[in-house]
Amino acid sequence: MQKKKSKILVLGFGTVGQGFYELFHSKQEALGLKGVSISEIVDMKYGHIIDPEENILDELKGGKTYPKIEPVQAIKNSDANIVCEFTWLDLKSAEPAFTHIHTALGLGKNVITTNKGPSALKFRELNDLAKERGVKFLMKGTVMAGTPSFNLLELLPGIEVKSVRGIMNGTTNFILGSMEEGNTFDIALQKAQQLGYAEADPSNDVDGFDAAAKITIISNLLGWNHEFNKIEVEGIREINQEQAKQKTKLIAYADRNTAYVKPMKLSNDDILANVKGVMNAIEFETDTLGIIYSMGPGAGRIQTAQAAMTDLVSLFR
Ligand code: HSE
């Protein structure tokens, strides 16, 4: 794809959208993306911003807003050839992100998203549509933020993945680590919320659904096609301090035949047993390399923005 002609429409200008905006401008020159621009931003709160100035974040902090527009209408009207979908997560309906992404792909626009809803629940439909229209549906930010996860496999032509195992939810890993240090579940959860790791309603994290969405997405990308609603999911609410001290971790696992998320007691020499705090890690069992790992942050403003940058740059390869 031509860098010179590329325009980006950003949908959703919250934490990730703003992080991406900043990161894009700070790395644009170094990445040779001078011909690429963020030409539009659409957000429920801020409205429709056309050709935003670089200081837009300061303006918005000062309370400035723009005319409102329906996101679908904005996508249809837009001449951007890349849509970055950063709206909120709904693991039941995948909306409104699904409709945004479906509309954009249908119009022949490339889509980059960090939203697990459409990627976990509607992967095949959206991926088929992207293929049909000759565009890309990219979702690196849905699994382990910018830390290499499934995209590592692009560096390994022909490799066959036999299984995937990982710690893919930072909030629960932080809670279990905090319980290992002697805190109760409630105190550990409160800390995770204060530090901004967990959501105000943290049930997607603590009940395992966030990790289940991530293992579903990986399984979709590997062609195993496990369904989100059929995966065995168990969270960490029943885990006590004693179990946390014995290296119990919330493990997401998939191979061709099965997929699950559940707390598991790991042996001390298991690399995943030593993944601390909000860190994430993934292990691939492969045919040619045996076991390979990647570890790093799985959430955060700039960490997730990095994932969208990775996807953006991949469009021009
Ligand atoms: N709540 C998620 C986590 C954020 O704690 O890992 C990233 O999906």
Tens-digit pLDDT profile for the chain (317 aa)?
766 689 999 999 999 999 999 999 999 999 999 999 999 999 999 999 999 998 999 999 999 999 999 999 999 999 999 999 999 999 999 999 999 999 999 999 999 999 999 999 999 999 999 999 999 999 999 999 999 999 999 999 999 999 999 999 999 999 999 999 999 999 999 999 888 888 777 999 999 999 999 999 999 999 999 999 999 999 999 999 999 999 999 999 999 999 999 999 999 999 999 999 999 999 999 999 999 999 999 999 999 999 999 999 999 99
- Closest of 207, 163, 191, 154 to residue 277, by C-alpha: 191
Query: Given ligand 1 and candidates 114, 171, 261, which is best to mutate, with the most ligand atoms within 8 Å of its CB?
Result: 171
Q: Which of 116, 214, 230, 262 is catalytic?
A: 214
Cβ(197) – ligand 1 distance below 6 Å: yes
Cβ(298) – ligand 1 distance below 6 Å: yes
pLDDT at 2: 65
Nearest-angstrom CA–CA distance, 74 and 222: 33
Nearest-angstrom CA–CA distance, 6 and 122: 27
Instruction: Tell how far the Cα of 6 is from the centroid of ligand 1, in angstroms.
Output: 30
Hey, whose CA ends up nearest to atom 7 of ligand 1? 299
Ligand 1 atom closest to Cα of residue 199:
1
Distance of CA 11 to the CA centre of its chain: 15
Hey, whose CA ends up nearest to atom 4 of ligand 1? 299
Cβ(180) – ligand 1 distance below 6 Å: no
Ligand 1 atom closest to Cα of residue 197:
5
Ligand 1 atom closest to Cα of residue 192:
5
Instruction: Tell how far the Cα of 169 is from the centroid of ligand 1, in angstroms.
Output: 5
Instruction: Tell how far the Cα of 83 is from the centroid of ligand 1, in angstroms.
Output: 23
Nearest-angstrom CA–CA distance, 18 and 24: 10
* Sheet of strand 259-265: strand arrangement: 232-233, 259-265, 248-255, 161-167, 279-286, 290-297
pLDDT at 231: 97
Hey, whose CA ends up nearest to atom 2 of ligand 1? 169
Cβ(171) – ligand 1 distance below 6 Å: yes
Nearest-angstrom CA–CA distance, 264 and 136: 36
Using CA of residue 125, residue 117, residue 169, residue 17, what is the dihedral sign?
positive
**80 neighbors 109 (Cβ within 8 angstroms):** yes
Nearest-angstrom CA–CA distance, 209 and 216: 10
pLDDT at 34: 93
E runs forming strands in the chain? 7-11, 37-43, 47-50, 82-85, 110-113, 137-138, 161-167, 232-233, 248-255, 259-265, 279-286, 290-297
Instruction: Tell how far the Cα of 29 is from the centroid of ligand 1, in angstroms.
Output: 30
Nearest-angstrom CA–CA distance, 313 and 239: 41
Domains of the chain are 3-146+301-314 (3.40.50.720), 150-297 (3.30.360.10)
- Closest of 189, 185, 213, 212 to residue 201, by C-alpha: 189
Cβ(17) – ligand 1 distance below 6 Å: no
Q: Which residues pair with 255 in a beta bridge?
A: 163
pLDDT at 97: 98
For 263, list phi and psi in degrees, rounded to 5: -70, 135
For 256, list phi and psi in degrees, rounded to 5: -60, -35
**39 neighbors 49 (Cβ within 8 angstroms):** no
Give Rg (Cα) of the chain.
20
Q: Give the β-pairing of 290-297 and 279-286.
A: antiparallel
Active site residue 276: no
**Residue that the structure tokens 């909030």 belong to:** 171
Query: Given ligand 1 and candidates 119, 168, 205, which is best to mutate, with the most ligand atoms within 8 Å of its CB?
Result: 205
**91 neighbors 63 (Cβ within 8 angstroms):** no
Helix and strand numbers (H, E) in the chain are 12, 12
Cβ(170) – ligand 1 distance below 6 Å: yes
Instruction: Tell how far the Cα of 205 is from the centroid of ligand 1, in angstroms.
Output: 7
Nearest-angstrom CA–CA distance, 226 and 232: 11
Nearest-angstrom CA–CA distance, 222 and 236: 27
